[in-house]
Amino acid sequence: MNAFFRDVIVFLQNPGLTHFLIISALLFSMGIFAILTRRNAVMVLMGIELVLNAANINFIAFSRYTTGTFDGQVIAIFVIILAAAEAAIMLAIVLNIFQNFNTVNVDEINQLKD
């Protein structure tokens, strides 16, 4: 039992590529969960941001542990900027939805079905 705890602690103390990939996978799945299950449109947008950040962590982790260059980090900065611009547009869309339908509940915005 003690050996197991010690192994866990040693595992946590020496991060490698796997640790970052696990975190990125967790964040990604949480983001997808938010996108698919939240009723409020703004919450869906938060899920999208989570997904983008998970991809960012992936980029950075691979750049750090596979090649020693900084390509992944630069790409991550690009992604952050693009995510910001995209968030602005998404919020504008949500605002327009609200002005038209008077709700931001995505379950009620289903007028495209007929």
Q: Return residues touching other proteins (CB under 8 A).
A: 12-16, 32, 35-37, 44, 64, 68, 106-107, 109-114
**In the complex with other proteins, which residue's Cβ is closer, 99 or 110?**
110
Residues 6+ apart with CB under 8 A from 37: none
Q: How far is residue 88 CA from its own chain's centroid?
A: 16
In angstroms, what is the minimal distance from the CB of 14 to other proteins? 5
In angstroms, what is the minimal distance from the CB of 35 to other proteins? 6
**In the complex with other proteins, which residue's Cβ is closer, 37 or 96?**
37
3-state SS, residue 105? strand
Q: How far is CA 103 from CA 38, 92, 100, 113, 114, in A?
A: 14, 14, 8, 18, 20
In angstroms, what is the minimal distance from the CB of 36 to other proteins? 5
